[in-house]
């Protein structure tokens, strides 16, 4: 079986802030079926370290970006792991990327440069005789690996694929860190990793990885445009021939309405009713005949939930109710708390709660995802699987995964949800009104739910695409 090293800064179920973790956690299982074994290189955060049983030390470093480090080999949660245990970088309380002050840890460049450096060292030296045929790198936190590998070895290099999950995060560092980060002076150039006078880790990956992918075909096209490229669209246009979009899947064992321990199991939409009643009770809402919309999301500018705040009065006027679970920017948290105070039809839970997110998917009638940009998005996929109709902005993966209920799609009986564009509060209101209309036609609504639940959202198709890409990289002379 061919071997790949997947390198990510988070990986479910061990450590998660967003969808990247779900993807990094699900990919190894999905790729195994395609004839590829993935080992996953992760930082040794406290939660990861405490999950390891029988870890074996396979490499040591006296000084890796400011302190001693060890590489551990272990198995946990069905994953074949390599863990970078570097207490000076990863053994700390608080959020993964942010300190208690809500700001990025000042040494984030060193933390993930160390991860990337170790990925390259594994590619070049192997670990205990094991060597990957391919490096699969995720986001900026792993993006320096191709450059480090180039610097370490003048011989044959292990080919690399960089997957962009979100172009908004670049991994910027001051040029004064060049030496500390073990980066070569020659690379501080606009054609390499220099970016407006600073070091840009993601750019290094976009330039030096052999192939690039992102998590939906639409986002792959959007990334080439200045509105979406976040300053890196020019770099991506140069590499257009090497960039593909492969949709994320969801883990259908974790998200399975027929066998989800958090909910009253169901296989057809008419059996969702108990979950709906429980959810209304759990959120302290009043039972109503109108649609119950849900949101499970990070609360950031990207997610467009300020637009939803504007759309709420019109939706409530039509008998709608909304339950939101999320956390993130303090201003957005405060705005949502205030909305719940002001409107009895709106209920909000601020925080992160995996179990509740399952109950919401099971009990909701519709899931709202009004993102300004969305590389792929996973919650609309959970919605489909649980017969919770997605109402989404027409962008990125949201455009690629939901079949919009326009006249043609309704006539052909293929629609699975609602989309709106341009991404404004007015257009979102329009989509929510279409949702209310559709909800009133109960037989039609139930047909849409059945189609949604039958829509393929698992990994098989996408894993086959990744396998083809892996093959193309490893079969080159
Ligand atoms: P992103 O990675 O941009 O946050 P995705 O839709 O790809 O967006 O993935 C988000 C993941 O995080 C999903 O699995 C979603 O259910 C989960 N999630 C987000 N916020 C919360 C929350 N407050 N509680 C529980 N799960 C959450
Ligand atoms: C990012 C994106 C999200 C995507 C996830 C996993 O966090 O914001 O759209 O689904 O990565 O690829």
Nearest ligand to residue 356 Cα: 1
Taking a C-beta distance cutoff of 8 angstroms, is the pair 82, 39 a contact? yes
Residue nearest to atom 11 of ligand 2 (CA): 165
Residues 147-162: what's their mean pLDDT? Answer: 94
Q: Is the CB of 130 under 6 A from ligand 1?
A: no
Q: Which ligand number lies closest to the CA of residue 219?
A: 2
- Please name which ligand lies nearest the alpha carbon of 375: 2
How does residue 37 score in pLDDT terms, banded at 50, 70 and 90? very high
What atom in ligand 2 is closest to the CA of residue 22? 6
Cα–Cα distance measured from residue 330 to residue 359, given in angstroms and rounded to the nearest whole number: 25
**Tens-digit pLDDT profile for residues 211-257:** 999 999 999 999 999 999 999 999 999 999 999 999 999 999 999 99
Q: Is the CB of 325 under 6 A from ligand 1?
A: yes
CA 299 – ligand 1 centroid, Å: 10
Considering only CA atoms, which residue is closest to atom 4 of ligand 1? 18
Atom of ligand 2 nearest to the CA of 397: 9
Determine whether the shortest distance from the Cβ of 357 to ligand 1 is under 6 A.
yes
> Fold match between 2-249+460-474 and 269-454?
yes
Give the ligand 1 atom nearest the CA of 23.
7
Residues 69, 73, 75, CA angle at the centre, nearest 5°?
A: 135
- Per-residue model confidence (pLDDT) at position 156: 86
> What pLDDT digit, counting tens, does each position of 412-429 carry?
999 999 999 999 999 999
Which of 18, 301, 380 maximizes ligand 2 atoms within 8 Å of its Cβ, making it the mutation to test the pocket? 18
Under a CB-based contact definition with an 8 Å cutoff, are residues 384 and 256 in contact? no
Closest to 136 in 3D by CA, of 12, 246, 255, 17: 246
Measured from the alpha carbon of residue 378, the closest ligand is 1
In the predicted structure, residue 153 carries a pLDDT above the cut 90: no
User: Which band of pLDDT confidence, cut at 50, 70 and 90, is reported for residue 99?
Assistant: confident
For residue 190, name the pLDDT band (cuts at 50, 70, 90): very high
**Tens of pLDDT along 437-458?**
999 999 999 999 999 999 999 9
For ligand 1, say whether the CB of 352 is within 6 Å of any of its atoms.
yes
pLDDT-derived band of residue 95, with 50, 70 and 90 as boundaries? confident
Which residue is closest in CA terms to ligand 2's atom 1?
A: 165
* Confidence tier at 291 by pLDDT (50, 70, 90): very high
Ligand 1 neighbour 415 (Cβ under 6 A): no
Q: How far is the CA of 140 from the centre of ligand 1 (A)?
A: 19
| Helix, strand counts (H, E) of the chain | 20, 18
Pocket of ligand 2 (CB under 6 A): 18-20, 23, 165-166, 215, 248, 374-378, 397
CA of 294 to the centre of ligand 1 (A): 13
Q: DSSP secondary structure string, 17-37?
A: SSHHHHHHHHHHHHHHTTTEE
297 within ligand 1 shell (Cβ under 6 A): yes
CATH 3.90.1300.10 is right for the domain spanning 269-454: no
Cβ(300) – ligand 1 distance below 6 Å:
no
Q: Which residues does 216 contact at the CB level (< 8 Å), separation at least 6?
A: 245, 246, 247, 248, 375, 376, 396, 397, 399, 400, 401
Question: What is the mean predicted confidence (pLDDT) over 311-337?
Answer: 97
Cis amide leading into 13 (omega within 30) = yes
Task: Please tell me the predicted confidence (pLDDT) of residue 477.
Answer: 61
What is residue 313's predicted lDDT score, i.e. its pLDDT? 98
Residue 40's beta-bridge partner residues? 6, 81
- Specify whether domain 2-249+460-474 bears CATH 3.40.50.150: no
**Strand order through the sheet with 194-195:** 172-173, 198-200, 194-195
Which of 21, 22, 305 gets mutated to test ligand 1 (max ligand atoms within 8 A of its CB)? 22
Atom of ligand 2 nearest to the CA of 371: 9
Give the model's confidence band at 68: pLDDT under 50 very low, under 70 low, under 90 confident, else very high.
very high
Record the pTM.
Answer: 0.97
| Sequence ranges of the domains in the chain | 2-249+460-474, 269-454
Query: How many whole angstroms separate alpha carbon 198 and alpha carbon 176?
Result: 9
pLDDT confidence of 155, banded at 50, 70, 90?
Answer: confident
Taking residues 21-36, report their average pLDDT.
98
Kindly report, residue by residue over 374-399, the tens digit of the pLDDT.
Answer: 999 999 999 999 999 999 999 999 99
- pLDDT attached to residue 453: 98
Residue 455, phi-psi category: left (phi > 0), alpha (psi -120 to 50), beta (remainder): beta
Number of residues that make up the chain: 477
424 C-beta closer than 6 A to ligand 1: no
Report whether pLDDT(329) > 80.
yes
Nearest 5°: phi and psi at 385? Answer: -60, -30
Q: Report percent pLDDT > 70 for the chain.
A: 100
- Whether the per-residue pLDDT at 93 is higher than 90: the answer is no
How far CA 222 is from CA of 161, 219, 305, in Å, comes to 19, 5, 21
What percentage of residues in the chain have a pLDDT greater than 90? 97
Q: Is 19 in the pocket of ligand 1 (CB under 6 A)?
A: yes
Phi first, then psi: what are they for 380, rounded to 5°? -70, -25
Residue whose tokens read 């694929």: 161
The pair phi, psi for residue 123, each rounded to 5°, is -60, -40
For ligand 1, the distance from its centroid to the CA atom of residue 178, given in whole angstroms, is 34
- Closest ligand 1 atom to 16 CA: 12
What mean pLDDT value characterizes the chain?
97
| Residues contacting 376, CB < 8 A, separation 6+ | 19, 165, 215, 216, 219, 247, 248, 396, 397, 400, 401
């Amino acid at each position: 079986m061919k071997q790949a090293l997947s390198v990510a800064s988070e990986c479910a179920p061990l450590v998660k802030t967003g969808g990247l973790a779900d993807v990094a956690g699900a990919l190894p299982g999905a790729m195994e079926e395609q004839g590829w074994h993935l080992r996953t290189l992760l930082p040794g955060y406290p939660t990861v370290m405490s999950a390891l049983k029988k870890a074996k030390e396979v490499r040591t470093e006296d000084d890796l970006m400011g302190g001693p480090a060890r590489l551990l080999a272990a198995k946990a949660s069905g994953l074949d792991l390599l863990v970078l245990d570097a207490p000076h970088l990863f053994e700390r309380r608080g959020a993964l990327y942010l300190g208690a002050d809500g700001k990025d840890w000042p040494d984030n460049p060193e933390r993930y440069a160390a991860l990337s450096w170790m990925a390259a060292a594994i590619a070049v030296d192997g670990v205990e005789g094991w060597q990957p045929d391919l490096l699969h790198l995720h986001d900026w936190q792993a993006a320096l690996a191709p450059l480090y590998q180039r610097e370490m070895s003048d011989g044959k290099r292990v080919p690399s694929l960089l997957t962009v999950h979100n172009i908004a995060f670049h991994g910027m560092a001051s040029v004064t860190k060049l030496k500390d980060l073990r980066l070569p002076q020659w690379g501080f150039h606009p054609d390499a990793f220099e970016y407006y006078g600073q070091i840009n880790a993601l750019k290094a990956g976009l330039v030096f990885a052999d192939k690039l992918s992102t998590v939906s075909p639409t986002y792959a096209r959007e990334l080439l445009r200045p509105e979406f490229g976040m300053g890196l669209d020019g770099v991506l246009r140069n590499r257009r021939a090497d960039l593909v979009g492969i949709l994320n899947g969801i883990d259908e064992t974790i998200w399975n309405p027929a066998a989800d321990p958090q909910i009253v199991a169901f296989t057809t939409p008419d059996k969702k009713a108990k979950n709906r009643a429980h959810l209304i009770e759990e959120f302290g809402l009043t039972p109503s005949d109108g649609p119950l919309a849900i949101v499970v999301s990070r609360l950031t500018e990207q997610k467009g939930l300020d637009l939803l705040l504007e759309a709420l009065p019109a939706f409530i006027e039509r008998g709608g109710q909304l339950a939101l679970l999320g956390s993130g920017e303090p201003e957005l948290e405060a705005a949502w708390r205030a909305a719940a105070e002001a409107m009895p039809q709106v209920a909000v839970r601020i925080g992160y709660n995996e179990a509740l997110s399952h109950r919401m998917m099971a009990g909701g009638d519709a899931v709202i995802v009004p993102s300004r940009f969305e590389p792929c998005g996973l919650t609309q996929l959970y919605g489909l699987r649980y017969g919770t109709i997605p109402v989404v902005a027409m962008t990125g993966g949201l455009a690629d995964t939901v079949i919009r209920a326009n006249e043609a799609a309704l006539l052909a009986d293929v629609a699975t949800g609602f989309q709106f564009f341009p991404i404004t509060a007015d257009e979102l209101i329009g989509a929510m009104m279409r949702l209310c209309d559709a909800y009133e036609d109960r037989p039609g609504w139930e047909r849409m739910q059945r189609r949604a639940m039958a829509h393929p959202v698992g990994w098989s198709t996408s894993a086959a695409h990744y396998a083809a890409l892996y093959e193309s990289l490893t079969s080159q002379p």
